[in-house]
Structure 1
Amino acid sequence: MKKMGRLYILMLNIFIAMLGFGLIVPVMPSYIEAFGATGKTLGFLVAATGLTQFALSPIAGALTDRFGRRKLIIAGIAGFTIAQFIFAFADQLWMLFVSRFLGGAAGALLMPAMFAYIADITSEKDRGKGMGLFSAAMTLGFVIGPGVGGYLVEYGIAFPFLIAGSFAALSTLLSILFLPETLTKEKQEEARLNKDIHFNPFVQMIEALRTSYGFLFILAFVLNFGIIHFESIFGLYVDQKHGFSPKDIAFVITVAGLAGVLVQGALVNACVKRFGEMRVVRYALLGAAFMLIACRFAPSFWLIFTGSILFLSATSFVRPALNTLLSKMAGNQQGVAGGLNTSFMSLANIVGPSLAGILFDVNIEYPFMFGTLVLGVSFAASIVWGKKVQHASAAS
């Protein structure tokens, strides 16, 4: 199969995975009610996936450099298939937790392996396009997941997960049939002989920050932190401050998310080719900071709607541009870099909502103000880091 065909299979894999993660949003209250659980249980179930993905992603990244991309991709999408079916047929609460933990482990296997696979099949010139299309598929799955779940749940609370599991099974079969290995046996053996890579995720993350591209992991954390910080509190914020209905909130988030998909699919590659990855990342962070504070002061529905679209559009430039730059700097450690990138993003998915909720309880404006501060400081730090990289390149 040609390279674009393989990229489309990867896009299908990540779309289905993110769709499955999004399905749980409208369905979970029904499950909690059916099992007689509490809101605290709901919180633990949501966090379960992020915790396993955070812990296992660096390990999976090291494994994909040692044993190839194909095995981990197939194992990941197959694991996700099983997780969806477990959730669908669960008749005890512990089975829901098993499903969520397994789903997080599957995501940990998938993300670094697919990140590395894209780097393997694209040239540096076209890598921005590949990362952009991949990120667009990821965003699209996450955006439409809650809507699909809300529609399918009318046929039974298990039905959305049966559908997601069936599509994941199909994607597993396509991966087995049409995804060849891209990492040579020689490079796998070379990675296995490298004793400098640790399987301890915490050791890996600390050492990653000391590399020449360690700052990119901080930006990956900041990006996901900013997005999840915004999305986790947005509905409650506009409900209390502006009286938005659930339909209003769903409309704003869905359209803004689709705008992000359009940006990643159509604009990122052209911008990266013209301005370079770091400039795109830098000014997208600045634009996101301005739009976040604009949402805080927006007095009407349509101004908040516009600000939200521009905020998520700005952040949509960052992920593919950042991934492209990271893949170029990672050299032969594509899997390790991809795994660490996923871990830092997963950590943000845990910290972002928790901190947003704490700040919201103090003052409903604080999450937006703090998010703006974090993005603004990251913009300034990216300028300093960029100058250091330029000086280091000139010196060498």
Structure 2
Amino acid sequence: MTTPPGSGPVPAPDSEPMPREIWFLVVASFIVAMGYGLVAPVLPTYARSFGVGVTAATVVVSAFAFMRLVFAPVGGSLVGRLGPRVVYVTGLVVVALSTGASAFAGDYWQLLTFRGLGGIGSTMFTISAASLVIALAPVAKRGRASALFGSGFLLGNVLGPVLGAALSGLGLRAPFIIYGVGLLVAAALVAVFVRPSRAAREAAKARVDAPPTQPPMRVAEAMRDPAYRASLVSGFTHGWANMGVRMAIIPLFVVTVAGAGDWSPGVALASYAIGTLVTLRWSGRAIDRVGRRPLLMGGLAFSALTALLLGLSFHVVMVLVLCVLGGVAAAAIQPAQQAVLADVVGRERSGGPVVARSQMAMDTGTILGPIVSGVLVDSVGYAWAFGVAGVILLVGLLPWRTAPETLERTRPDHP
């Protein structure tokens, strides 16, 4: 039975163990991300192999995020109706099938269609994963739970490009087949092990499997919270620069401008992931102790600086160093965003639509970032694309200047 807010003490930060289900979600995220890290470096090149330009190649990246955006409201409703575990597994299977089909695309438009379909499944398991982490994480460890979940994804992003380099002789299509198989393995893992009957705590089981003790939070209610509104803006800017531009532009930039070899796109993306991975343990603890707002603001400012400097870099070593530093900045942004979302929704309520709207904000940035940047690259060059990304990140700082800190909402005396 869950304890109502304010009726008892909140456990000390290190006294309540991390539920076993979260560890299985971390393993699943690692498998998913390793395949994603395998595909991401070759996707722009694969798209261009069909005889299209940079802008069209970046649209393939944006198509995935566009379908995530369009389907997010439905995904949020499905989580409320079917439960997060069912939607999570179904979403992984959808992405697995569409990714495998991408390997056999006969032209650019088929590839674009298959990647778009994959976005539908992606938003299903992304919203479900966020809902599971919010429900299962101990209140005092929300930042660390988010960082732990993110570390599994990032470790996979590090090893994925390494695996891709080892398998480079298999061609551009093989990574999509391998990724599809990996997604099916991750789906089976979650289906078998992430079950309410295996919960480490009875309260966590109730939050995942039973109806909430309070009505679900509506988006209109969340929008009255200035912290939630600020998180939507910073999520959009994070999606633009650190998800969209990073995945679509840096792989092309490091080869075209820095003059590196075919190995460099994977190494550049892995460098970013390494920077995030080595910082997440510290940032997760800082988010739970110092607060969400300072980490978010510092991460956005530092990320903007690295983006601006990337546009002035013309040597592969400089690019790789800045990728690492950009990853360090992202390690402060992403788990803090997740912790704010958990604080806004609370542990006694479901918030599928609220989580979906947050995901939509980031996906909107992930869609627009590559498209606008691709147009800028084709017309005025890479420096402008990175410069605009840096300015967009600085815009994400503005609402946090006045938004409240949400860490205090985890205290037992908070209304």
Question: Smaller-chain TM-score range?
Answer: 0.7 to 0.9
Partners of 1:209 and 1:217 within 8 A in 2: no
Structure 1 residue 56 displacement after superposition? 1.0
1:373 lines up with 2:391 in the alignment: yes
1:256 lines up with 2:267 in the alignment: no
State the one-letter code of the partner of 2:389. G
When residues 298 and 109 of structure 1 are mapped into structure 2, their CA distance, relative to the original with a 3 A threshold, is closer
Structure 1 residue 317 displacement after superposition? 1.1
RMSD: 3.6
**Which runs of structure 2 are paired with 1:100-139 in the superposition (5 Å)?**
100-139=115-154
**Which runs of structure 2 are paired with 1:230-241 in the superposition (5 Å)?**
230=246, 232-237=248-253
Structure 1 residue 146 displacement after superposition? 4.4
Distance 1:317 1:207 in 2: 27
> Corresponding residue for 2:344?
329
When residues 365 and 66 of structure 1 are mapped into structure 2, their CA distance, relative to the original with a 3 A threshold, is same
- TM-score, normalised by the number of residues in structure 1: 0.81
> Corresponding residue for 1:320?
335
> Corresponding residue for 1:185?
210
SS at match of 1:187: coil
Structure 1 residue 222 displacement after superposition? 0.9
Structure 1 residue 375 displacement after superposition? 2.3
> Corresponding residue for 2:102?
87
> Corresponding residue for 1:200?
none
State the one-letter code of the partner of 1:353. P
1:353 lines up with 2:378 in the alignment: no
Structure 1 residue 236 displacement after superposition? 4.9
Distance 1:329 1:341 in 2: 11
* Residue in structure 1 matching 2:282, options 267, 273, 282: 267
Structure 1 residue 276 displacement after superposition? 0.8
1:77 lines up with 2:92 in the alignment: yes
Distance 1:267 1:76 in 2: 31
Partners of 2:237 and 2:395 within 8 A in 1: no
Structure 1 residue 376 displacement after superposition? 2.5
> Corresponding residue for 2:170?
155
Q: Can you give the 5+ residue segments of structure 1 that lack an aligned partner in the other structure?
A: 198-203
**Which runs of structure 2 are paired with 1:22-101 in the superposition (5 Å)?**
22=37, 23=39, 25-26=41-42, 29=45, 33=49, 38-39=52-53, 42-88=57-103, 96-101=111-116
- TM-score, normalised by the number of residues in structure 2: 0.78
Partners of 1:112 and 1:336 within 8 A in 2: no
When residues 236 and 3 of structure 1 are mapped into structure 2, their CA distance, relative to the original with a 3 A threshold, is closer
Residue by residue over 1:248-290, the C-alpha shift from the partner in whole angstroms, topping out at 9 and shown as x without a partner, is 55434422321212212x2122211331111111111122223
Q: Higher helix share goes to which structure? A: 1
In percent, how many aligned pairs have the same letter?
Answer: 19
Partners of 1:31 and 1:157 within 8 A in 2: no
Distance 1:296 1:27 in 2: 22
Distance 1:80 1:310 in 2: 31
Partners of 2:254 and 2:264 within 8 A in 1: no
Distance 1:233 1:89 in 2: 24
Structure 1 residue 235 displacement after superposition? 4.9
Distance 1:105 1:377 in 2: 29
My pick for the range that moved more, 269-278 or 363-372, is 363-372
Residue by residue over 1:147-172, the C-alpha shift from the partner in whole angstroms, topping out at 9 and shown as x without a partner, is 43454353365543333233322222
Structure 1 residue 304 displacement after superposition? 4.4
Partners of 2:340 and 2:406 within 8 A in 1: no
Partners of 1:209 and 1:215 within 8 A in 2: no
State the one-letter code of the partner of 2:179. A
Distance 1:24 1:288 in 2: 21
When residues 130 and 238 of structure 1 are mapped into structure 2, their CA distance, relative to the original with a 3 A threshold, is same
> Corresponding residue for 1:309?
324
State the one-letter code of the partner of 1:352. G
1:382 lines up with 2:395 in the alignment: no
Distance 2:138 2:182 in 1: 30
SS at match of 2:397: helix
Partners of 1:25 and 1:146 within 8 A in 2: yes
